[in-house]
Amino acid sequence: MNYDLQRLEIAQGVDIWKPTADMLHDPNVLPQSSPCEAVFLGLPLGECGGVLMANIAISRLATQGSVYGNHEATHGADATAQQEAMGVRFGDSPDIIPANSLYVISAHGAAPSVGAAANERGLQLFDVTCPLVHRTHRAILDAPAKGPSHVAYISFGKPEHPELVGAAGLAEEAGIPFSVLGGESDIDGLLAEVKDGETITIVGQTTNNSDEATILARQIQGRARERGITVAREKSHDVCHTVRDRQLSAREIVAVYNVGALVVVGSVNSKNTKSLADVAAKEAISRELPLTIYLANSWGQIPSIEGRVGVVSGASTLAQNVHGVIDRLAPTNGVIKVGEDTDRGIVFSPVDTKTRGLFEDEDKARRRS
Ligand code: SF4
């Protein structure tokens, strides 16, 4: 069977290719015919701490009973497929799940009513919300502590992204005014909503393009100041470190290492993976460098690539998929690492005590070491 990559040309000299739907289901379709010259590998690589924690928790729970999730634990297509093969079901409403089943809130978090509905149904609740998403939730809930506040949430993705849905639901249930901004054109709407005496608190989705989030936050601050509105920016609560550092590595690979191609390894429905392609494309355009970007979830979704090739990975990508891509590229001059592995040594603990119990052995081992 013949498969074609889909070409999305975005500017003169910069192309993005993505696999067709058929290719997503058959990982072995595009043979590599010749080795590339060298691979420039962006760090951090593979799953971030939050995704790893969620995947481990779900696979442990799957040995204990019937597991249901409010939605996929992460956006890693392979991890989700593995969990579904273990019998885990995602997306069912608590109303139809048998009592006593195990119910997992995903790494993206959820509004409190989701957990309440699960408790009411008699489900055993486990919360694998990433601690960094949880920190954003705390920032939203703490916003009114110093007086009336309106939360401005920066998100460039789809309105149905679970992280945005969870944050918006949390604010709504707590009665905190909340607006979503995806660009400068949304600022007028925000300012029209803010009432006299309210402060604007800016937070953001953890997986945004960090440059664009910073620019939009500054635009909000500037326009609000003109209107005499005080703005608090929760700097530590927006783009998470692992997403930001992967983006920095992608930019460095394009800007410094003269690569002709960049493979972005990750799931097609992962926002932070798509952001990597976005920042790399923008870097190439701004420097007028030709670049071909391949979005691929696994080694079978890239064609034969010659020359110097960059490889970066989304935060929900299994590390084994990144290694599979490198093996496939078979670089004759080896692999050069770019950036810092800032995920190394960081171990996330679940925010929920019951879920923490699933990691007791590791915690004891950590205390001993
Ligand atoms: S990408 Fe960042 S916010 Fe999302 S799960 Fe990983 S560490 Fe947490």
Cα 171 to Cα 156: distance, rounded to the nearest angstrom: 19
Mean pLDDT of 176-200: 96
For residue 117, is pLDDT > 80? yes
Output the CA 199–ligand 1 centroid distance in Å: 28
What's the pLDDT score for residue 287?
A: 96
The better pLDDT of the pair 257, 341 is held by 257
Task: For residue 47, give the ligand 1 atom closest to its CA.
Answer: 6
Ligand 1 pocket test, candidate residues 105, 135, 240, most atoms within 8 A of CB: 240
Least confident interval from 99-103, 144-148, 151-155 = 144-148
User: Residue 232: is it exposed, middle or buried by C-beta count within 10 angstroms (0-12/13-18/19+)?
Assistant: middle
Please work out whether the CB of residue 216 comes within 6 Å of at least one atom of ligand 1: no
pTM for the complete prediction?
0.87
Output the CA 53–ligand 1 centroid distance in Å: 10
What's the pLDDT score for residue 343?
A: 80
Please work out whether the CB of residue 170 comes within 6 Å of at least one atom of ligand 1: no
Evaluate the omega torsion of the peptide bond into residue 44 and state whether it is cis, within 30 degrees of 0.
Answer: yes
Output the CA 367–ligand 1 centroid distance in Å: 24
Q: Are 158 and 133 in contact (CB under 8 A)?
A: no
Cα 254 to Cα 257: distance, rounded to the nearest angstrom: 6
The better pLDDT of the pair 92, 369 is held by 92
Output the CA 205–ligand 1 centroid distance in Å: 10
What's the pLDDT score for residue 333?
A: 97
Please work out whether the CB of residue 301 comes within 6 Å of at least one atom of ligand 1: no
